[in-house]
Amino acid sequence: SPHLMVHVAFLTVNGWVGPDSDPSEVEACRQYVYDRSVAFKREVMNAQWQEAEKVLNNLQREYDLLVREHGRMEQQHKKSRDREEEARTDQGRLEDEVKRGREELDAALKAAQDNPGEEATERADKAGKELGKAEKQLEKARDTEVDQRKKAEQLEWDLKQNEEAQKSKQVEIAQQQEAVEALHRKLMNVR
């Protein structure tokens, strides 16, 4: 409650202070009570103001964290898109390697059939291994492209969520700033 009633009695060397006491003594007691009540009001208002300031500072820290997180997510999004593009480029190169590898394997197998021998068999084995390696790399590049695309899409959604959270936090900060200023004005007007 903003209003508080206090009953105070003063005992001096001359006895209890009352309405019939010396006017200067009554005024001194009244001034004492007034000064103490103003000090108490200030103390209470100052505590409320400081608590509101803490809340405001926490909101600003949370907002700053959202901004930093947004920056990190933007960097991750760019890296994901770059990796996706790199995987797409690698796929083109690897598809050519697989095509050449199949041609080399076919040629090596034909040569091994035409001229059977250890050298022809080794050449066919080597061509088969090269083809297998290129096919694995191609599959990995395809998987990487899909993974990076999914990651980028998830980051796009996360970025939108972060931006909404930032807007919401800015509204909270503005409201809390108004509350802090109102409490500060009340504190300055305590008389």
Question: What CATH number does residue 104 fall under?
Answer: 1.10.287
* Tens digit of each residue's pLDDT (9 = 90 or more) over 2-12: 677 888 899 98
Quote the pLDDT of residue 157: 98
Q: Is residue 114 assigned to a domain?
A: yes
Q: Is residue 20 assigned to a domain?
A: no
* Tens digit of each residue's pLDDT (9 = 90 or more) over 27-61: 999 999 999 999 999 999 999 999 999 999 999 99
What is the domain count for the chain?
1
Q: Is residue 24 assigned to a domain?
A: no
Give the angle subtended at the CA of 94 by the CAs of 89 and 96, to the nearest 5°.
105
Which pLDDT band holds residue 1 (cuts at 50, 70, 90)? low
Whether residue 98 has pLDDT greater than 60: yes
Domain that holds residue 136: 57-188
Q: Is residue 29 assigned to a domain?
A: no
- Residue appearing with tokens 């191609």: 138
* Tens digit of each residue's pLDDT (9 = 90 or more) over 56-94: 999 999 999 999 999 999 999 999 999 999 999 999 999
Hey, what long-range contacts does 72-77 have (CB within 8 A, 24 or more apart)? 73/155, 73/158, 73/159, 73/162, 74/159, 76/151, 76/155, 77/152, 77/155, 77/156, 77/159
- Quote the pTM value: 0.70
Q: Is residue 120 assigned to a domain?
A: yes
